[in-house]
Structure 1
């Protein structure tokens, strides 16, 4: 029994050390460019070899001393990696949404994106400012876009106004020119976070047609006060990012968890659920909350079918006409 306990203890300690080395190695991979990263890999490998030698001799005190030294040096470097605003951003994430008080009750929303996409990365670029009255908000919709695994979706929040216009907020990684998304890199300060505001003819058409993703739209029941508070919360978040950039995180600060936190601020019914992380299952969570149309009276699978957004040409359509078309499935 004593031998088994000692063996188990050694296994746990060795696993912890291995995980530490792997974590540090991945952080170097996503932060340091070649050729310097190869020198750091070599230094880390040498530390691992020395630690292995100490382990074979049973000199665990030296193992922990070496590990603590490496961890301290790494931590000092890691804590000093700060997000920035001044990188060479890709055009579609070059401007985050900001806002300011307009005339009277109006809010001036700045940097609304209105690109016209001809391909996954090709577009005619346009940005504009817009004066909106939060009191004229009439709807909130959750738009979900699945590009790979059905368990994970990109989540967007669309606000509809009395005049038929819709503004969509999307929390996204702020990619630099030539940069590709990596789920693993999102754990290691690889990307800054940006909050994009766009019209639906831009950001929904990009995903349905230009990228060929599976997109669904779900109307969400909220009171007028909640709609207004949530809209202003998104604008405040955009202003905060403009003042102090933040890192995107694959689990904790992504396209779903960021709006989830904002919704929690305006509704005490919203509690954490694993489906917030497994965002492809978010419709089930909304269904259980009772905020989807006919929730409880109609099966969830029926609502999912109604939520499907077909691919449609946008040539000649105004933004208001395109937004109306997106909701045809809910007018049955």
Structure 2
């Protein structure tokens, strides 16, 4: 091997390892930023120390020995990962009011009791009447399941809710939520770094659905899901099972792997299996097209028709104070 070839291979290896170190160090910086329990300026000093050691490892890699520099960074990152994997979620924090309680349930035959069903009366984001209720449902009367997508700026991104209807005119909506601690704000980036715990909330439809178009100014769509009765029942019970499990074993929210869509996808995979992975499970605003391709929406209508008829934004605002909120928002929705 010629000297020039050997030098090129050495430079290429250094560039490859340097790129790996820089990407890993960026991840480490964000992990430290979001999780180190230090106030400023101590947090800034800790980040500077981390970045300084990274630069030192890169200098050793380029000037002294490739493997010495790389090994130095691996030791640093191994220590970081040891700390990272010892961070554990907890249900024992001071939470924001809307996630202060956790839904859980009991099932005896067809009779279901849900505790801590949220039924807030929202006047604004900061002005509301808080209510947490115990409600009872008869699974033999479970007749429908709806998917709702609520958008707040981009077509590709939406919050997804699932609502179950019963023959006695009861509806209950399940929403996978982050549990914000008091004073926290939501960040998609922070959602990758164990910043929030995960929660499954059962709510009244005039709470979790209405708050989005009526108070937050979101654009909300409702789709009737064509689901066999046995699968519908299993999905309802799976929500209760998952909620009960979170009460006993808290989990961190993750923007990609544990969010409002992937958690439901996991439930459905467990129930029926065979569901394909798809980018629309992450680009949640496009989820209705994914469900349509699986023949999960109302027959006889194309997706554009279902989207137009299912846009409940204005109906929700008009029905805000009506006792028939659930019926009004479904007026004209195919399948109803």
TM over 0.5: yes
Counterparts of residues 292-331 of structure 1 (less than 5 Å): 292-294=297-299, 297-311=300-314, 312-314=317-319, 316-318=321-323, 321-330=324-333
Asked if 1:121 is matched to 2:126, the reply is yes
Q: Which residue of 2 aligns with 1:15?
A: 19
User: Which deviates the most, 77-86 or 7-16?
Assistant: 7-16
CA deviations on 1:92-121 (whole Å, 9 max, x unpaired) are 11112101135x631111110100101123
8 Å CA contact 2:214, 2:320 repeated in 1: no
Distance in 1 (CA, whole Å) between partners of 2:87 and 2:47 is 19
Q: Which residue of 2 aligns with 1:257?
A: 262
Counterparts of residues 49-88 of structure 1 (less than 5 Å): 49-88=55-94
8 Å CA contact 1:93, 1:174 repeated in 2: yes
Q: Which residue of 2 aligns with 1:169?
A: 174
Structure 2 regions of 5+ residues with no counterpart?
A: none
Q: Which residue of 1 aligns with 2:103?
A: 97
Q: CA RMSD in A?
A: 1.7
8 Å CA contact 1:201, 1:314 repeated in 2: no
Q: Calculate the TM-score normalised by the size of structure 2.
A: 0.93
Distance in 2 (CA, whole Å) between partners of 1:58 and 1:282 is 52
Distance in 2 (CA, whole Å) between partners of 1:172 and 1:316 is 25
Distance in 2 (CA, whole Å) between partners of 1:86 and 1:62 is 43
Shift of 1:39: 2.5
Distance in 2 (CA, whole Å) between partners of 1:11 and 1:52 is 10
Q: Which residue of 2 aligns with 1:274?
A: 279
1:130 to 135, 139, 145: 135
CA 1:20–1:268 in 2, change beyond 3 Å: closer, same or farther?
closer
Q: Which residue of 1 aligns with 2:250?
A: 245
Q: Which residue of 2 aligns with 1:200?
A: 205
Give the secondary-structure state (helix, strand or coil) at the position aligned to 1:173: strand
Shift of 1:53: 2.0
Shift of 1:269: 4.8
User: Which deviates the most, 66-75 or 261-270?
Assistant: 261-270
Matched positions, count: 327
Shift of 1:315: 5.1
Q: Calculate the TM-score normalised by the size of structure 1.
A: 0.94
